Structure 1
């Protein structure tokens, strides 16, 4: 069986259709670039650790601590854009099935529950960061204050809550 030749004049069709960006005030490119930079840092840290481990039979103790922190930040920034772009994990048979009224109602319920969850996460993680600060806990590998890591959770949870509030507002206005 012969493989058809590609002609340079013919446009290449994308595998997935392009989905327009949702109408947001704060561009999603911010979270996209933060996610890309964090992923690049994770790759560099891991690569450096592999090289050191190969050459010296030892490893950098701090790499795991930094990597765990960066993975949490990556999860939160990527999660923010996934919710707004409607690419989060869901059961599409239920979410996208039925009448448009039912779909809208489920989207409103889902957005409200997610908004309430991230507000609660922001409040509770702010309490945890405050406790880390007031008790002076330090990280095991590097010895830096734990609040340097934990302070980012309420900040990022608040950012996701604001994204979800905007999404809920657009849903209520019928714009999403």
Structure 2
């Protein structure tokens, strides 16, 4: 009896591709930041629950730090979504029409995201400067407010850079195949 070959793709069948194959390899930054921020949120919340349970009081700083970390998490996740081309869009318009139209809309969307977050990055620098110049402190624990606000222009610039990268990648490749006929009987 001849040995059986393991199941899997044959030489003539192309290997399946992951949906993130067209995303940049440098997404590890966003992925690791997401893991670190989520772990910090979980640890802070768990520590606060334990303290409340055993002492009937809580850490005063946990709410302020948790809100900051959730904002950072949303921005980092937004950056990863843009880089992976999984940002929000109206599928009816984005997936309909000719190949050229879909490619044009994909590039237009990436350009608008880059413009929006570039503008946010530039304008929020003024907020950071004002926080620093006027010595604003956070309401909960009294640390300098710019420690929190400095992350908005930085991560917004990252999102804008990711959107520009997406714009360039969309210009180099054909849009996804038309899926409108997939459900025919």
1:138–1:104 CA distance, 2 compared to 1 (3 A): same
Q: How far does residue 118 in structure 1 lie from its aligned partner after superposition?
A: 0.3
- Alpha-carbon separation, structure 1, partners of 2:45 and 2:7: 41
Q: How far does residue 10 in structure 1 lie from its aligned partner after superposition?
A: 8.2
What residue in structure 2 maps to residue 6 of structure 1?
A: none
Cα RMSD for the two superposed structures: 2.0
- Alpha-carbon separation, structure 1, partners of 2:154 and 2:174: 27
- Alpha-carbon separation, structure 1, partners of 2:67 and 2:21: 30
> For 2:89, what is the secondary structure of its paired residue?
coil
Q: Is the 8 A contact 2:113 2:163 kept in 1?
A: yes
Q: How far does residue 122 in structure 1 lie from its aligned partner after superposition?
A: 0.2
- Alpha-carbon separation, structure 2, partners of 1:175 and 1:77: 27
Q: Describe how 1:79-158 pairs up with structure 2 within 5 A.
A: 79-158=78-157
- Alpha-carbon separation, structure 2, partners of 1:171 and 1:48: 45
Q: Any idea what the Cα deviations from partners look like across 1:20-66, whole Å, max 9, x if unmatched?
A: 43253x61011101111100100111111111111122111110110
- Alpha-carbon separation, structure 2, partners of 1:74 and 1:109: 26
- Alpha-carbon separation, structure 2, partners of 1:77 and 1:56: 35
Higher gyration radius (CA): 2
More divergent stretch after superposition (83-92 vs 28-37): 83-92
What residue in structure 1 maps to residue 71 of structure 2?
A: 72
Q: Is the 8 A contact 2:103 2:174 kept in 1?
A: no
The number of aligned residues is 162
| Contiguous gaps of at least 5 residues in structure 1 | 1-8, 12-16
TM-score by length of 1: 0.85
| Contiguous gaps of at least 5 residues in structure 2 | 1-5, 9-16, 176-185
What residue in structure 2 maps to residue 57 of structure 1?
A: 56
What residue in structure 2 maps to residue 172 of structure 1?
A: 171
TM-score by length of 2: 0.81
What residue in structure 2 maps to residue 5 of structure 1?
A: none
- Alpha-carbon separation, structure 1, partners of 2:174 and 2:153: 29
Q: Any idea what the Cα deviations from partners look like across 1:58-111, whole Å, max 9, x if unmatched?
A: 111110110111111111111111111122222222211221111111112111
